[in-house]
Amino acid sequence: MSKTPSVAIRIQDLHLSFGDTRVLQGIDLEIRPGELFAFLGPSGSGKSTLLRAIAGFGPRPQGRILLDDEEITSQPPWTRNVGMVFQSYALWPHMTVFRNVAFGLEERRVAKGEIRQRVERALDLVGLLELADRRPSQLSGGQQQRIALARTIVVEPRVLLLDEPLSNLDANLRIQMRREILDLQRALGLTTIFVTHDQEEANTISDRMAVLDQGVIQQVGTPMELYDDPANLFVAGFLGTANVLSGRFQQTAEGSRFGTPGGFEVLLEGVERSGSGHILFRPQNIRIVQRGEALPEEGVRMEGRVRHREFLGSLVRYEVESGGEKLLVDDNHQRGDPPYEPGTAVVLQLNRSQIIVMAE
Amino acid sequence: MTLFARGDRGPAVVGLALFLFLLLFLAIPVVKVIFVAFQDVGSGQFSLINFVDFFNTSLFRESFVNSFYVAAMSVAVASVIALPLAYFTTRFNFAGTALIQTLGVVPLIMPPFVGAVAMQLLFGTNGSVNLLLDEWFGINIPFMEGLNGVILVQSIHYFPFILINISAALNNIDRAMEESAQNLGASGMRLFRRIVFPLAMPGYVAGAALVFLKVFDDLGTPLLLDVNNMLAPQAYLRISSIGISDPMGYVISVILVVFSLLALWTSLLLTRNREYATVQKGGGGLMRRDMRPWEKAGAYAVILLILLLVLSPHIGLTLLSFGTIWSYSVLPDGFTLDHYLEVFESASQFITNTLLYATLAATADVVFGTAISYIVLRTRLAGRRILDYAATASLAIPGVVLGIGYLRTFYEFDVPVVDKPLASWWVIIVVALLIRRLPYALRACMAALQQVAVALEEAAENLGATKRRTVWRVVVPLMSGGILAGFVTSFATAAVELSATLMLVSEEADAPLSYGIYVFMQSAAGRGPGAALGMIAVLIVALGTYLSHRVIERNRQQQASDRLVAAAET
């Protein structure tokens, strides 16, 4: 587990089907050496299938998978040296922790003494050296997860694949484990891909991520790029909450005027666009005050009426009806602030620079 | 001050009654048998002299070795039959899987002793197969010579136990177990040896232990094949020819019980820890692939061969029941319905007795089973687990042992009105069947009750129903599917019980089917009618098996749709 030169993963025009069902379509992706990369998507999006294809499991895909310049597409799983940690951990119940971790080294015909050394180092790295003689069934979920990690990294794989690594852990442990995974990945410099359906998980630890839906990569980038500039409505909706308005753009002298059938209108300065399309903005981009209260002058002003509210702790999320649209508005909560009751007439103010314009 | 909480008084009375019943008809007879085995005949003192005598007699030593050998070999041969079948179904996408599953049930509908004589006519020295082999190749294979015959008949009958267990074990392995090994560099035989085989092993051993136990205890098959130098037949012959005071039958009983307990314990120990290998996510079972054409041809050839072997008792029995004279020939000389007519004219009491006994025993089994399940799962009665353990313990008591125990315990107890000893009254046969089949009914009832949510009962009580009314109006109706399945299983297996029955039948007028088959099959002239009786027994069991399968299937679908409705409503 010394720091080995990191490897790039390249996937070129990958297609994969289960019988007649097309699960992956035209995947092109380049993962840089040493990167912690996330595959994010809802269930059935193909993210796990893509990960398994890199490890060599599942039906043979069309297209190419390369580690640096070596093509591995048609290699069997056991010759790829691609480390994978399974969602269920898949620790073998008939072996002790030590035997589990030693397995891959034994398959590689490593000398006995060296096996002991390396297994102990790996167990020490995940902080569970004292559990070497236990059976997997005697371990907690978090411990099993660490052992599964140790079992994989002990063989010094070229890349590390994690399939929903945190999904079987409870909320507190999940936060702790994701930090540990990040630390470990940084320490080893291993190019790592992890699959998740949880955007917070992907946002917090990944360098970059790919959002998948229906077997197609929707967008690739850093978490912040994807949040701020989603390529399409799916990405916008999957990463956080967004107000999406559908309507028509009309080109004018000052810019493009966007209007919805319900009467919501906004002038987008410096934008050149006409025809139908969408605009979207996040709930925290809107300020809300009771009608009659003063607001700074800049921004788009809208009148509306509160329909519902949800108290979320750090903020209160209002659903406000305005111009025939239902908008979600987040208001920071301070101790003692009274919330606006449903029915209250309010004024909303939207910062123009936060509006994202999207084609049909 | 009452001893029990108000709602517990009814269950407490029922529980006590059940406890006394099990004490009287299971614990005391068995303890009596063990006691006698360790008692010096002359002085009545505790002594090991009987065991010393046992091992000093060469016939008993030989019987002991033979029983062990036959049980072990039956496991081996059954494994040889079961393993390729399990391999085909779990490793390949194979259309013959349905055929294999059917094949796994067919032997179970015919008790081994029923087909034993027919197997002799097919595979014996002068049987059909050897006559053909002699004609074609000039060879004669001693399939049915002595112990070989018992091994062949038993392994054909019991291989499904192993097939079912090993298939389930293989299918329950989380696929990620195999994949993670591949990911770490293992493949082919090493992968099989280090991961797949160890994970499937507990399932296999559990099935094998059960087969060992069944064969080791079996009385009917060796007797019908005229193999007497085994333990169970020796116990039967000592008691029936020398009398119930001869200690050797008791010594043998103790040995049988010890081995049964060992086998059962092994099996339980291994199945209990099996949850570790069960499916988590990503699908169970090993990776399957399609068969190449020549593999498919080979697989079908193997299956066909096994199918023929497995069906041979059924084929033989059918031929025998419809055949005129069948001796030194490949097929019977001619065909007739006379045997069936004879059976219906002169031996119909066997059939009516069987229907009566099996119905009574199975009814009592499900009533007891329901009561015990309720007491164990729903009340806090002290010692309630004892009922469960005691009822289940009868699995480990071979029929011969129970029979000997009843004879010894109840011979001096005269039933008032009938005016004969309880041990020779027909009701004792029913009691023996009841005790022997209780574990099956109890498991079915337990499973059924576990599926009934406690909230459903609480709702009834909340609306004013007493405990008794709640059980009657809510619990029992919801358990009905499981109770019915338990009834049918108990009924079908009780209908063909032979070992305890053989010990307890005191006059032919009281005897059930299995006894009739045994008596008829003793003489060459009686084989035809015996086979006809056997066919009737097979029909009863087949019908029972089919019905219980249907009930269980319907139940499962019902529950699945109930869950859907419940999910949709939330």
Q: Which of A8, A6, A36, A12 is nearest to A195 (CA)?
A: A36
Instruction: Identify whether A3 is part of a domain.
Output: no
CATH of the domain at A150: 3.40.50.300
B184, B276, B278, B290: best mutation site toward chain A, by most A Cβ within 10 Å? B184
- The dihedral sign for the CA sequence B4, B7, B9, B14: negative
Could you give phi then psi for residue A102, rounded to 5 degrees?
-75, -20
Q: Considering CB atoms only, which of A56, A90, A108 is closest to B180?
A: A90
β-pair partners for A267: A257
- The dihedral sign for the CA sequence A64, A66, A71, A74: negative
| pLDDT tens-digit series, residues B34-60 | 888 888 877 778 888 888 888 888 888
The answer to whether A108 contacts chain B (CB < 8 Å) is: yes
Does A298 lie in the same domain as A212? no
Does A140 lie in the same domain as A76? yes
The answer to whether A151 contacts chain B (CB < 8 Å) is: yes
Confidence at residue B70, expressed as pLDDT on a 0 to 100 scale: 95
Residue B449: what residue type? L
- The dihedral sign for the CA sequence B177, B180, B184, B188: positive
The answer to whether A19 contacts chain B (CB < 8 Å) is: no
- Rounded Cα gap, residues A138 and B38, in angstroms: 44
Number of domains in chain A: 2
Confidence at residue A34, expressed as pLDDT on a 0 to 100 scale: 93
CB pairs under 8 A between A and B: 73
Does A225 lie in the same domain as A283? no
Residue B449 clears pLDDT 80, i.e. is over it: yes
| pLDDT tens-digit series, residues B192-211 | 888 888 888 888 888 888 88
Residue B528 clears pLDDT 90, i.e. is over it: no
Does A141 lie in the same domain as A93? yes
Instruction: Identify whether A36 is part of a domain.
Output: yes
DSSP of A162-230:
EESTTTTS-HHHHHHHHHHHHHHHHHHT-EEEEEES-HHHHHHH-SEEEEEETTEEEEEE-HHHHHHS-
Instruction: Identify whether A100 is part of a domain.
Output: yes
Does A277 lie in the same domain as A207? no
Confidence at residue B18, expressed as pLDDT on a 0 to 100 scale: 92
CA atoms within 13 A on the CB side of B485: 21
Confidence at residue B7, expressed as pLDDT on a 0 to 100 scale: 53
CB contacts of A137 in chain B (<8 Å) are 276
The answer to whether B93 contacts chain A (CB < 8 Å) is: no
- Rounded Cα gap, residues B317 and A15, in angstroms: 59
Confidence at residue A162, expressed as pLDDT on a 0 to 100 scale: 94
- Rounded Cα gap, residues A87 and A39, in angstroms: 14
Q: Residue B185: closest CA among chain A residues belongs to which residue? A: A78
Instruction: Identify whether A189 is part of a domain.
Output: yes
**Would you say B387 and B26 are in contact if contact means Cβ atoms under 8 Å apart?**
no
Residues of chain A with pLDDT under 50: none
Q: How many CB atoms lie within 10 A of CB A74?
A: 10
The answer to whether A55 contacts chain B (CB < 8 Å) is: yes
CB contacts of A77 in chain B (<8 Å) are 179, 182-183, 187
Confidence at residue A227, expressed as pLDDT on a 0 to 100 scale: 93
Question: What is the pTM for the complete model shown?
Answer: 0.75
Last residue of a domain, one of A215, A238, A261: A238
Give mean pLDDT, residues B418-438: 84
Position B78 confidence tier, pLDDT thresholds 50, 70, 90: very high
Does A233 lie in the same domain as A279? no
A72, A88, A149, A160: best mutation site toward chain B, by most B Cβ within 10 Å? A88
What three-state secondary structure class fits B360?
helix
Does A152 lie in the same domain as A17? yes
CB contacts of A55 in chain B (<8 Å) are 179, 183
Confidence at residue B286, expressed as pLDDT on a 0 to 100 scale: 63
Who wins on pLDDT, B8 or B47? B47
**% helix / strand / coil in chain A, to the nearest 5?**
30, 35, 35
Does A225 lie in the same domain as A201? yes
Instruction: Identify whether A229 is part of a domain.
Output: yes
Give mean pLDDT, residues B486-499: 83
Confidence at residue B509, expressed as pLDDT on a 0 to 100 scale: 79
Q: Considering CB atoms only, which of A77, A81, A90 is closest to B176?
A: A90
Residue A97, both tokens: 């922790």
Position B488 confidence tier, pLDDT thresholds 50, 70, 90: confident
Does A74 lie in the same domain as A172? yes
Which class for B3: exposed (0-12), middle (13-18), buried (19 or more C-beta within 10 A)? exposed
The answer to whether A141 contacts chain B (CB < 8 Å) is: no
CB contacts of B187 in chain A (<8 Å) are 76-78
Give the rounded percent of residues in chain A with a pLDDT score beyond 90.
56
**Which letter, b or e, does each residue of B482-512 get, where b requires 16 or more Cβ atoms within 10 Å of its Cβ?**
bbbbbbbbbbbbbbbbbbbbbbbbbeeebbb
**Would you say A178 and A148 are in contact if contact means Cβ atoms under 8 Å apart?**
no
CB contacts of B200 in chain A (<8 Å) are none
Confidence at residue A3, expressed as pLDDT on a 0 to 100 scale: 60
A79, A86, A138: best mutation site toward chain B, by most B Cβ within 10 Å? A86
Quote the minimal CA–CA distance from A3 to chain B in Å. Answer: 19
Instruction: Identify whether A185 is part of a domain.
Output: yes
**Would you say A213 and A41 are in contact if contact means Cβ atoms under 8 Å apart?**
yes
Residue B444 clears pLDDT 60, i.e. is over it: yes
Residue B5 clears pLDDT 60, i.e. is over it: no
Q: Considering CB atoms only, which of A76, A90, A151 is closest to B174?
A: A90
CB contacts of B277 in chain A (<8 Å) are 93
Q: Which of A212, A182, A188, A190 is nearest to A199 (CA)?
A: A212
- Rounded Cα gap, residues A129 and A149, in angstroms: 13
CA angle B131, B136, B137 (to 5 degrees): 100
Could you give phi then psi for residue B499, rounded to 5 degrees?
-65, -50
Residue B462, both tokens: 């909340």
**% helix / strand / coil in chain B, to the nearest 5?**
80, 0, 20
The answer to whether A90 contacts chain B (CB < 8 Å) is: yes
Which class for B144: exposed (0-12), middle (13-18), buried (19 or more C-beta within 10 A)? buried
Of the given ranges (A220-234, B283-297, B354-368), which has the lowest mean pLDDT? Answer: B283-297
Residue A273, both tokens: 């666009």
CATH of the domain at A340: 2.40.50.100
Last residue of a domain, one of A181, A213, A238: A238
Of the given ranges (B4-13, B84-93, B432-441, B474-483), which has the lowest mean pLDDT? Answer: B4-13
| pLDDT tens-digit series, residues B105-143 | 777 778 888 888 888 888 877 777 777 777 788 777 777
Give mean pLDDT, residues B76-86: 89
Position B569 confidence tier, pLDDT thresholds 50, 70, 90: very low
Quote the domain boundaries for residue A354: 243-359
- Contact flag A78-B174 (C-beta cutoff 8 Å): no
B183, B278, B281, B287: best mutation site toward chain A, by most A Cβ within 10 Å? B183
- Rounded Cα gap, residues B405 and B333, in angstroms: 46
Q: Which of B282, B473, B42, B37 is nearest to A51 (CA)?
A: B282
Quote the minimal CA–CA distance from A147 to chain B in Å. Answer: 13
- Rounded Cα gap, residues B347 and B344, in angstroms: 6
The answer to whether A60 contacts chain B (CB < 8 Å) is: no
Q: Which of B311, B321, B317 is nearest to B157 (CA)?
A: B311
Q: Residue B190: closest CA among chain A residues belongs to which residue? A: A107
Confidence at residue B562, expressed as pLDDT on a 0 to 100 scale: 60
- Contact flag B190-A137 (C-beta cutoff 8 Å): no
Instruction: Identify whether A1 is part of a domain.
Output: no
Residue B197: what residue type? F
The answer to whether B6 contacts chain A (CB < 8 Å) is: no
Instruction: Tell whether ipTM is more than 0.85.
Output: no
Does A326 lie in the same domain as A285? yes
Last residue of a domain, one of A213, A238, A263: A238
- Rounded Cα gap, residues A128 and B61, in angstroms: 55
**Which letter, b or e, does each residue of A105-131 get, where b requires 16 or more Cβ atoms within 10 Å of its Cβ?**
bbbeebeeeebeebbeebbebbebbeb
Does A179 lie in the same domain as A106? yes
- Rounded Cα gap, residues A312 and B153, in angstroms: 72
Residue B326, both tokens: 């069948």
Of the given ranges (A202-216, B399-413, B545-559), which has the lowest mean pLDDT? Answer: B545-559
Quote the minimal CA–CA distance from A2 to chain B in Å. Answer: 18
Q: Which of B392, B106, B79 is nearest to B211 (CA)?
A: B79
Instruction: Identify whether A2 is part of a domain.
Output: no
Does A156 lie in the same domain as A14? yes
Q: Which residues contact B296 (CB under 8 A, 6 or more apart)?
A: B94
Position B1 confidence tier, pLDDT thresholds 50, 70, 90: very low
- Contact flag B187-A76 (C-beta cutoff 8 Å): yes
